[in-house]
Structure formats: structure tokens, C-alpha cells
Amino acid sequence: MISKPKILDLFCGAGGAAMGLHRAGFEVYGIDIKPQPHYPFPFRCMDALEAMDILLRGEGIEFTGSLIRLFINDFDAYWASPPCQHASTIAKQNRILRPGKYDHPDLIPQTREVLIKAGKPYIIENVVGAALVNPIRLCGSWFGLRLHRHRLFETNFGVLGTPCSHHWQKPFFKTCDKRCSTLATCVPVYGHNYYNEFEVAQKEMGIDWMDTEELNEAIPPAYSEYLGKYLMQEIESKVMAL
């Protein structure tokens, strides 16, 4: 039996990206500094950058739900979703007005540095406004989702972004809060959800295993499945070139 390529999901959260990568054909392992009881794959609770330092030193890491210790050469690719709070719209708007409250660290440069050292294909995901290098943008409307959920993705291999197609997206439900006229704002990137239709929001995101706060921070698995197929092609092309 041919084993699946292994991918390390850094800053994994509750596994929105992980599920799409799984559907694209990867064996997924997640790392996050916070406990993630709903993460659907083998998981290790620790700082993601510290984990990469351990791997780059030639040491191994064990994951809950897996009986093996994995080393740097065991991973064929990397996905990273470093915290986005520093680049969020609310942080940029209030950083000057409320000094200190919105001074979140930008971990993207450090993340990029360790992924380059790892020497494998990688994807770094973040919000619009984040300082990614030559990123492509994905939109939920392209995938038939009733949400915008624009996200940027930096890669060290070739991928194509998706155009927006918002014209077909209808307003959200009448029961929804007045501040939330479309599902794009009903599933925000931060803060609280202003809607009564949580189960419908889960359906539109393609996620049924998360709670409200986890859903706020997730990306639709459709995004990572789409990019995961490019990633799989990149891995296969490198194998064939050997």
C-alpha cells in the first residue's frame, strides 16, 4: 500500500484547513499552542515555531492519536496559519486610538524563515492585509459558498487564485441580526457571531465539528482542498524528477 504524503499543519486551530488537506489526499498532523479537542487528526499541543526548531535540529515529535515519532524528513509539505490579529481591520483601525490593546505580534516572517529552512513545499495562510509575499486570494463565492471569506495564501510553488463571483450570493436569513446582512459578516474573522442560524453557518463553511469561536477563526475546507491539489502535484513532480 502506497502511503499518503504527510503534511504538518502549523497553528492548526480546530482543523478547517486540515480537513481540506485530508480530502486532497494528505496525512495531516496538527500543532497549536492551544488545546484543540475538536481537531480531527493527530495533534500536538505546543508552540508551532518551537516545534519547527525541534524538527530542524533533527529531533522528533510525537502526536496524540499517533503511535510514531515524526522527524523533519517525514513531512512532505507544510501548511501554516500564523495568528492574523495583527493584520485584521479592527487592529489597524484601533492601534493608534488604543495603544497596547491591539499590538499583536506578527509571526509571519519567523514562520516563513523556518519553512524555507525545511526545504519543502509550503503554504502560509492569512487575512487580507497581511504581509505575505506574492500571495493569491481565494473567495468563497468561487466555491459555491454563500460567504466571501477572502483569504491570502503565500506559496513557494505555482498556484492560481480564484476570482470573486459575489453577484449570485443572496442576503442571509431574516432572523439574522441587522448588523449581519450577508453570511460573509455572519461568520467574522474575530469577535462574536451575530446570527441565530449557527447550524446553517456551519453548513455554508463546510464544517460540522467546531463550536462558534472555532468557526470564527477557520477557513472553509474547500480552500485548502483546492490548494492541496496543487500541493500534491508539486510533490509528485519533485518525486518524478528524482
The residues spanned by each domain of the chain are 6-162+221-241
Higher pLDDT: 212 or 166? It is 212
Q: Could you give the angle at the alpha carbon of 88 between the alpha carbons of 85 and 93, nearest 5°?
A: 115
pLDDT tens digits, residue range 190-222?
A: 334 444 567 777 888 899 999 878 988 899 999
Query: What whole-number distance in Å separates Cα of residue 179 and Cα of residue 15?
Result: 28
pLDDT of residue 134: 96
Identify residue 239 by its one-letter amino acid code: V
Identify residue 30 by its one-letter amino acid code: G
Query: What whole-number distance in Å separates Cα of residue 31 and Cα of residue 194?
Result: 30
From 36, 59, 57, select the one nearest 46 (Cα to Cα).
36
**Cell triple for 80:** 501554516
Q: Among all chains, which residue has been given the C-alpha cell 492551544?
A: 34
CA dihedral 156, 225, 149, 127 (to 10 degrees): -30
Identify residue 10 by its one-letter amino acid code: L
Tell me what percent of the residues of the chain surpass a pLDDT of 90: 58
Residue 169 forms beta bridges with which residues?
Answer: none
Query: What whole-number distance in Å separates Cα of residue 168 and Cα of residue 145?
Result: 10
CATH homologous superfamily of 6-162+221-241? Vaccinia Virus protein VP39 (3.40.50.150)
Q: Among all chains, which residue has been given the C-alpha cell 480531527?
A: 40
Instruction: Read off the pLDDT band of 168 (50, 70, 90).
Output: low
Query: What whole-number distance in Å separates Cα of residue 73 and Cα of residue 61?
Result: 12
pLDDT tens digits, residue range 81-118?
A: 999 755 554 444 454 555 555 555 789 999 999 999 99
Determine how many CB atoms are found less than 10 A away from the CB of residue 62: 11
